[in-house]
Amino acid sequence: MPVMIRTEQLRKVYRVGKEKVVALANIDLEIEQGEICCIVGQSGSGKSTLLNMLAGLEKPTRGLVAINGKKVSAMDENQLAVFRQENLGFIFQSYNLLAQLTAAENVALPLMFTGMSRRKRMKRAVYELKQMGLGKRAGHKPTEMSGGQQQRVGIARAFVGKPQVIFADEPTGNLDTHTTRQVLRTMLERAESHNITFVMVTHERELSSCGDRIITLQDGHVISNEKLDEATKKANRDALFADLDEKTLMAEEAEQAEHAEQAQQARFAEKVMHNVIQADLPDTQNPGGNTTGEAGTGQNP
Ligand SMILES: Nc1ncnc2c1ncn2[C@@H]1O[C@H](COP(=O)(O)OP(=O)(O)OP(=O)(O)O)[C@@H](O)[C@H]1O
Ligand SMILES: [Mg+2]
């Protein structure tokens, strides 16, 4: 596979007062097209810094970053904005949704400058939300959703434009274990089916085993860069997703909706039965029975 992301002697030094923090020390990397690449390491090891450099969100102190042969590290802010718009998707740990927009409007945002009609943009956005099991939440604002749901909106937004590369910093950091696995599996399926290069930062080693490549950072250095073969990757995924059944998030949402409808029907049937029974009962307040023929319970319809 051709190389999609390449760094050469990539270095980032932060200055805090008189202190110097070497967040990344001369990193050389190659990530292939279509790879699922996981970046792991302890807190403070430089994972977010590396991701931000690769994505052109921050300028390196020294060195080179190239994506698909384009020197991202040499672009100015305007060139970067256009490049990101056309080629990259992002999933942030803190969602970064716009509070005044609905879920569907947030997801549709990256399509804004593609020349696509609003109707088509919204249709694509709703489709993407359905894939994340959020078809019923398309009209909700971020404040009307749980953290996990907001993150799934953020993920839908990253995929909607089918970018070449998606960068994700702890995308499942705020999700429970079951949702993490489901969301992870959905992201992998969507990335792989569109041949999107997916670069994910995680501090959970177990999650990183689902990828094609695991890059481990320590104190700004790459201490291991491991390419997994297909058999190992498959075995890792089988173990990671063992507790999940075949159901996708979309199928699960449909099922929940069906259950809710069934429960509502059952509650309605119960109410009707209750009223019918009440109407048939002799009036206990009046042992002689209700001679007028009125139920007198006050509960019949
Ligand atoms: N803007 C900044 N100014 C100064 N130092 C910074 C800045 N951003 C990061 N650092 C320092 O660079 C190092 C790497 O930070 P980074 O955020 O990349 O770590 P991380 O691996 O993503 O950690 P975490 O798992 O906690 O998110 C840390 O020592 C951090 O304190
Ligand atoms: Mg980080």
pLDDT tens track, the chain, 301 positions: 899 999 999 999 999 999 999 999 999 999 999 999 999 999 999 999 999 999 999 999 999 999 999 999 999 999 999 999 999 999 988 888 999 999 999 999 999 988 899 999 999 999 999 999 899 999 999 999 988 899 999 999 999 999 999 999 999 988 888 889 988 998 999 999 999 999 999 989 899 999 999 999 999 999 999 999 999 999 999 999 988 877 777 787 887 878 888 778 878 877 777 777 777 777 655 555 444 444 444 454 4
Task: Give CA–CA dist 173/231, Å, rounded.
Answer: 27
Pairing mode, strands 221-227 and 213-218: antiparallel
Q: What is the pLDDT of residue 287?
A: 53
Contacts of 237 by beta carbon, 8 Å cutoff, 6+ apart: 188, 209, 210
Give residue 170 CA to ligand 1 midpoint distance, Å: 14
- In which element (H, E) is residue 64 found? strand 62-67
Task: Give CA–CA dist 215/111, Å, rounded.
Answer: 32
Give residue 214 CA to ligand 2 midpoint distance, Å: 16
Task: Give CA–CA dist 63/258, Å, rounded.
Answer: 55
DSSP 15: E
Residue nearest to atom 28 of ligand 1 (CA): 44
Report the sign of the C-alpha dihedral through residues 199, 203, 207, 212, in that order: positive
Q: Is 178 left (phi over 0), alpha (psi -120 to 50) or beta?
A: alpha
Asked if 3 and 27 touch (Cβ cutoff 8 Å), the reply is no
Q: What is the pLDDT of residue 295?
A: 47
Q: What is the pLDDT of residue 157?
A: 96
Contacts of 288 by beta carbon, 8 Å cutoff, 6+ apart: none
DSSP 53: H
Asked if 144 and 106 touch (Cβ cutoff 8 Å), the reply is no
Residue nearest to atom 31 of ligand 1 (CA): 44
Q: Which residues form the pocket of ligand 1, taking CB atoms under 6 Å from any ligand atom?
A: 14, 16, 21, 23, 41, 43-49, 203
Of all ligands present, the nearest one to the C-alpha of 168 is 2
Give residue 227 CA to ligand 2 midpoint distance, Å: 23
Of all ligands present, the nearest one to the C-alpha of 216 is 1
Give residue 43 CA to ligand 1 midpoint distance, Å: 8
Task: Give CA–CA dist 204/184, Å, rounded.
Answer: 12
Cα angle for residues 77, 81, 87 (degrees, 5° grid): 135
DSSP H helical segments within the chain, as ranges?
47-54, 77-87, 103-108, 118-131, 147-160, 177-193, 205-208, 230-240, 249-280
Task: Give CA–CA dist 189/133, Å, rounded.
Answer: 14
Rg (CA), the chain: 27
Of all ligands present, the nearest one to the C-alpha of 203 is 1
Q: How many CB atoms lie under 10 A from the CB of residue 164? A: 19
- Given the CA of residue 52, which atom of ligand 1 is nearest to it? 18
Give residue 43 CA to ligand 2 midpoint distance, Å: 7
Residue nearest to atom 3 of ligand 1 (CA): 14
Residue nearest to atom 17 of ligand 1 (CA): 48
Give residue 119 CA to ligand 1 midpoint distance, Å: 41
Asked if 226 and 40 touch (Cβ cutoff 8 Å), the reply is no
- Given the CA of residue 50, which atom of ligand 1 is nearest to it? 18
Of all ligands present, the nearest one to the C-alpha of 50 is 1
Asked if 169 and 51 touch (Cβ cutoff 8 Å), the reply is yes
Give residue 23 CA to ligand 1 midpoint distance, Å: 7
Best mutation site among 49, 53, 222 for ligand 1 pocket (most ligand atoms within 8 Å of CB): 49
DSSP 201: E
